Copies of this chain bind each other. A is one copy, B any other.
Amino acid sequence: MPNKLKTAWQAGKATVNGWAAIPSGFAAEMYSRAGWDSVTVDMQHGIQDYLSCVSCFQGMQPSGVVPMVRVPWNEPGIIGKVLDAGAYGIICPMINTEAEAKAFVQYGKYPPRGTRSNGPIRAAVYGEAGAYQTTANDEILMIPMIETKKAIDNIGAILDVPGIDAIYIGPSDLSFSLGKTPKLDVEDDEIFKIYEMLLKETGKRNIAAGIHCGVPAYAKRMIKMGFKLVTIANDVGIMLNAAKAAVTETKS
């Protein structure tokens, strides 16, 4: 199964990513039908664990979205497990140094490019028998989050690590790290300059840049700015905001 995100990015197209925080295969099934190119199960800040991630993957499979995971941390056990469960992309929080980036890539790649252990119990199901192990290193996206001042300082060395397909900006942690109020959809010149620098540095290495957004209008601006992977809020936030609007309108 070729990775549709990779194909899109190589064709210069931006992709829109959903974010699943609700630990329910049914919720993920329905949510995945909204037109997303990919849906990421958020095991870091979402109410998700490994088995709920598997259920969400099962629920979202018929929709054809690319299944991705944000892991809780840069730890080989969980990275291996979600890959075996069928993740076609891993977003990893808090990659701040070259060493962390190298470790991250290594956890996600089969030998000789890494140390991932063989056993793709659900992942192998997607394609031809035996084909998974020969294509996984190429098709699965390794996406470190760039979300601290330290990462910005080390950005060249991080991006030079072979095997990084994209970066993903966490705007609220980046703001926090810079001494600002943590929030999404920032309007801040210092941060915009960082975004531009990141787009330039990734661009010249043919690495895609992604960013977590709060609302569609901002996500659209980010695409125009050059980002190839934009996320809009998460399932539960979208539900709650829409529900609040519905109640307010009804009661008005």
Contacts and interface: CB of A to CB of B under 8 A. Distances in A.
Interface in A16-62: 16, 18, 21-27, 29-31, 33-36, 44-47, 49-52, 54-55, 58-59, 61-62
Contact of A26 (B23, B34, B232, B241): B23
A205 to B, nearest CB: 25
Nearest to A111: B176
A80 to B, nearest CB: 7
A233 interface: yes
Contacts of A239: 27, 30-31, 235, 238-239, 242
A58 B75 contact: no
A34 B247 CA distance: 7
**Size category, A interface:** 35 or more
Contact of A246 (B61, B122, B238): B238
B176 A121 contact: no
A51 B47 contact: yes
Contacts of A25: 25, 54-55, 58
A249 to B, nearest CB: 4
A27 B236 contact: yes
Contacts of A119: 44-45, 172
Nearest to A76: B73
Nearest to A219: B250
A217 B251 CA distance: 10
A34 to B, nearest CB: 4
A3 interface: no
Given A30-B240, A51-B47, A72 B78 contact: yes
A182 interface: yes
A4 interface: no
Given A26-B54, A34-B243, A45-B81, 5 more contacts: A27-B27, A30-B240, A49-B50, A73-B80, A216-B250
